[in-house]
Amino acid sequence: METILYDVADHIATITLNRPQTLNAFTDQMIAETTATFKQAARDTAVRCIVLTGNGRGFSSGQDLADVQARAGDFSIGEHLRHGYHKLIMQMVTLEKPIIGAINGVAAGAGCGVALATDIRIASDKASFILAFSKIGLIPDSGINWLLPRMIGYGRAYQLAITAEKLPAAQALEWGVVNDVVPHDQLPETVTAWAHKLASGPTLAFGLTKRAMLKAWDTTLPESLEYEAYLQEVAGRSADNQEGVLAFLEKRTANFTGK
């Protein structure tokens, strides 16, 4: 792969967007490589937690605008979204393993959408989020219209969209866009600690929880209760459930395997 780095160690897969000279702007190749790598991490039974971050001072500046400009005339944005970003966002949101977004710097445009599609976001104090779309006469895409109002409410989401103003890390924490903000030089160790904790947890249950919450956004309470019962039946038959209950009764730390 040429546009991302991929590493698996200690049950943790790390995907690093790697076009630092553009603050990790997305080309077709980078969208395809990132999507394929998430798919690989999903299938790899050794992987129990995934970290997504950016190389250099940016997380991602969104669509590579120089690339789009070079293809002007022969370019359908709708088709580009359908064949590229939609697959990436759906791959991430339906992937039944926790994805940690290590937001190391600016996340703009579609880069913001990709950041929001992670499950737990830990931000550097130098990070920010910018819905840069309106600056170039576009609307938010990459799932932002669905994800962001659910996180921060319509008024704030609409404000960010139409002003394209920067949401700094501290404000993002206050509004619930990120789970934590840490000094920039402490981001790697903080994310590693989170990743180790998640990767040694009951990861089957973590995956099913993600599925239950995603489904609940589009269903009624009775439907959601029924789906919980169905998934809990699965979790209740897992080795991790057995081990967790036994460990509690024996007053020791549980040794979860994700099975």
Binder among 30, 47, 95, 106 for ligand LHQ (CB under 6 A): 106
Establish if 103 lies at the interface with ligand LHQ (CB under 6 A): no
Strand partners, 8: 13
Q: How far is the CB of 140 from ligand LHQ (least distance, A)?
A: 8
Establish if 68 lies at the interface with ligand LHQ (CB under 6 A): yes
H or E element: which one contains 121?
A: strand 120-124
Cβ proximity to ligand LHQ, 51 vs 108, nearer residue: 108
Strand partners, 13: 8, 50
Q: How far is the CB of 107 from ligand LHQ (least distance, A)?
A: 9
C-alpha 95/C-alpha 92 separation (Å) is: 5
Cβ proximity to ligand LHQ, 113 vs 258, nearer residue: 113
SS3 180: strand
Which of the stretches 32-40, 73-81, 205-213, 238-246 binds ligand LHQ when contact is defined by CB under 6 A? 73-81
Per-position x/- string for 109-148, each x denoting binding to ligand LHQ as judged by CB under 6 A, each - no binding: xx-------------------x-xx-xx-x--x-------
Output DSSP code: residue 131.
-
Establish if 54 lies at the interface with ligand LHQ (CB under 6 A): no
Which residue type does 253 have? T
Is residue 35 within 8 A of residue 88, CB to CB? The reply is yes
Cβ proximity to ligand LHQ, 138 vs 193, nearer residue: 138
Handedness of CA 212, 214, 220, 223 (dihedral sign): negative
Q: Which phi and psi angles does 54 have, rounded to 5°?
A: -120, 150
Catalytic residues: 86, 141
Instruction: Give the strand pairing for 128-130 and 12-17.
Output: unpaired
Residues that bind ligand LHQ (CB under 6 A): 22-23, 25, 61-66, 68, 77, 80-81, 106, 108-110, 130, 132-133, 135-136, 138, 141
